[in-house]
Amino acid sequence: MDETQKNRYTFRVFRHSSGYLVRTKRCLPDYFTLEFSNAVMSASASILSGAGNTAILKPSEVSTHTTELIVDLVNEIFDQDEVFVVSGGIEESTALLKLPFDHIYFTGSGPVGKIVMKAAAENLSSVTLELGGKSPVIVDETANLKDAAKRIVFGKFINNSQTCLAPDYILVKEEIENEFLQHIKNAIQNLFDAPDGIKEDNPHYARIITRKHVDRLTSLLQNAKEMGATEYISGTINPESKFFPPHVLTNVSWKSQLMEEEIFGPILPVLTYKDEAEIIDRVNALPKPLALYIFSNRQSTRKRILKETSSGTTCINDCVIHFAHPGMPFGGVNASGIGKSHGYYGFLAFTNEKPVLKQRKDLQQRTLFIHLTRNGQSGLPTGR
The residues assigned a catalytic role are 130, 164
Residue 364: C-alpha distances to residues 8, 12, 357, 361 (Å): 10, 20, 14, 8
Return the bridge partners of 231, or none.
Answer: 249
Burial of 1 (0-12, 13-18, 19+ CB in 10 A): exposed
Which three-class secondary structure state does DSSP give residue 90?
A: helix
Q: How many Cβ atoms sit within 10 Å of the Cβ of residue 160?
A: 25
Cβ atoms of residues 218 and 171 within 8 Å: no
DSSP letters along 224-275, please?
Answer: HHHTT-EEEE----BTTTTB---EEEES--TTSGGGTS---SSEEEEEEESS
Return the bridge partners of 23, or none.
Answer: 57, 105
Q: What is the Cα–Cα distance from 291 to 105, expressed in whole angstroms?
A: 19
Which three-class secondary structure state does DSSP give residue 110?
A: helix
Nearest to 24 by CA among 78, 73, 97: 97
Q: What is the Cα–Cα distance from 73 to 350, expressed in whole angstroms?
A: 22
Q: Which residues fall within 8 angstroms of residue 341, CB to CB, at 6 or more apart? A: 44, 47, 105, 128, 130, 329, 330, 331, 349
Residue 256's Cβ-side half-sphere holds a number of Cα atoms within 13 Å equal to 26
Which three-class secondary structure state does DSSP give residue 160?
A: helix
Which three-class secondary structure state does DSSP give residue 357?
A: strand
Q: Which residues fall within 8 angstroms of residue 314, CB to CB, at 6 or more apart? A: 291, 292, 293, 294, 306
Which three-class secondary structure state does DSSP give residue 123?
A: coil
Q: What is the Cα–Cα distance from 70 to 58, expressed in whole angstroms?
A: 10
